Structure 1
Amino acid sequence: MGQIKIYGLKDNLNSIKAKLSDIIQSCEVDAFQYPKEKRFHRFFPLNKEDFYFPNDRTEKYIIIEISIFEGRSVEAKKKLIEFLFERIQNELGIVPNDVEVTIFETPNYNWGIRGLSGDEVGLNYKVNV
C-alpha cells in the first residue's frame, strides 16, 4: 500500500493532475508490483506565495512524497525513483531537476486500514519486492 502526496504550483499542477497520477501509478505498478486498482494520490496545488523553492527550479517544480509499508528492497525503491524521473520527463516534459521524490517507510502496524492495523489486513499483493 502506498499513499502519495504531490505538491506544486497551482497553475501548473492542476493542468497535469490526471496524467501525472497515471504516470505515478504506472511507476508503482512496475517497480513495486502493485495491483493496478490500488491508487491513493492526493494533490496539493499551491499559490506562488505558499510554495518557496530554489532559484534553479522552474514553475513546473513538483514534490512527490510516497508513504509505504516497510519491506521493499533498495533496488525496487531505486527503480521507482528512476521510473518517475524518466516517465515524468518523457510524458510531461518536466526535467528531473524540477522533480523531487521522497519515500517514507513505516512498519505496517503503524497504519490503520479498513478498521484494522496494517499488519492485520490481508493484502492481495507482496510488499517484499
Structure 2
Amino acid sequence: MAQIKIYGLAQTLDPIRAGLSDTIHSCLVDIFRLPVDKRFHRFFRLQREDFVFPGDRSAHYLIVEISCFEGRSAAAKKALIGALFERIKRNHGIASHDVEITITETPRWNWGIRGVSGDELGIDYRVCI
C-alpha cells in the first residue's frame, strides 16, 4: 500500500498531472512492485503565495510525499528515490534540484482500509523487498 501526495504550483502541475501520475506510478510498480491497479495519488495545486520555497528552486519545484506500509529495505527505498529523480527529469524535464521526495513508513496496523486495520487486510503483493 502506498499513498502519494504531490505538491507544486498549479501552473506547473496542471499541464503534466496525468503524465506525472503515470511516471510516479511506474516507479512504484517497478521498484516497490505495487500492483498496476493500486494507484492512490493526490495533487495539491498551489498558488505562488501558498507555496513558500527557497529562491534557488524554480517554478517547477515539486514535493512528493509517499506514505506506505513499513517493511521495504533501505535499498528498495533508495532505488525508488533514484528512479523518481531520473524519470521525472527524463519524462517531464524537471531537474532533480527541483524535486524533493520523502518516504514515510508506518506499521500496517496504523492504517484503516476498507473497514479493517491494515494488518487485517488481505493484500496480493509482498511488502518486503
TM-score w.r.t. length of structure 1? 0.99
**1:43 Cα shift?**
0.1
- Residue of structure 2 in register with 1:63 after alignment: 63
Q: Secondary structure at the match of 1:8?
A: strand
C-alpha separation in 2, matches of 1:74 and 1:27: 16
CA distance in 1, matches of 2:33, 2:106: 19
Q: CA RMSD in A?
A: 0.4
Deviations 1:46-88 (A, max 9, x none): 0000001111100000000000000000010001000000000
Q: How far apart, CA to CA, are the structure 2 residues paired with 1:103 and 1:14? A: 24
| Deviation sequence 1:68-118 (CA, Å, 0-9, x none) | 000000010001000000000001000000000000010000000110000
2:110 maps to which residue? 110
- The answer to whether 1:4 aligns with 2:16 is no
Unaligned runs of 5+ in 1: none
Q: In structure 1, give the amino acid aligned to 2:98.
A: D
Residues 19-51 of structure 1 show CA distances to partners (whole Å, capped at 9, x for unaligned) of 000000000001101111110000000000000
Tell me which residue corresponds to 2:98.
98
Cα distance in 2 for partners of 1:31, 1:55 equals 32
Secondary structure of residue in 2 paired with 1:39: coil
Amino acid at match of 2:94: I
Structure 2 Cα separation of the partners of residues 10 and 2 of structure 1: 23
Paired amino acid for 2:117: S
Question: Which sections of structure 2, spanning at least 5 residues, go unmatched?
Answer: none
Q: Percent identity?
A: 61
Taking the aligned partners of 2:44 and 2:87, their CA distance within structure 1 comes to 21
Shift of residue 3, structure 1, vs aligned partner: 0.5
Q: How many residues are aligned here? A: 129
The alignment's TM-score, normalised by the length of structure 2, stands at 0.99
Taking the aligned partners of 2:45 and 2:114, their CA distance within structure 1 comes to 28
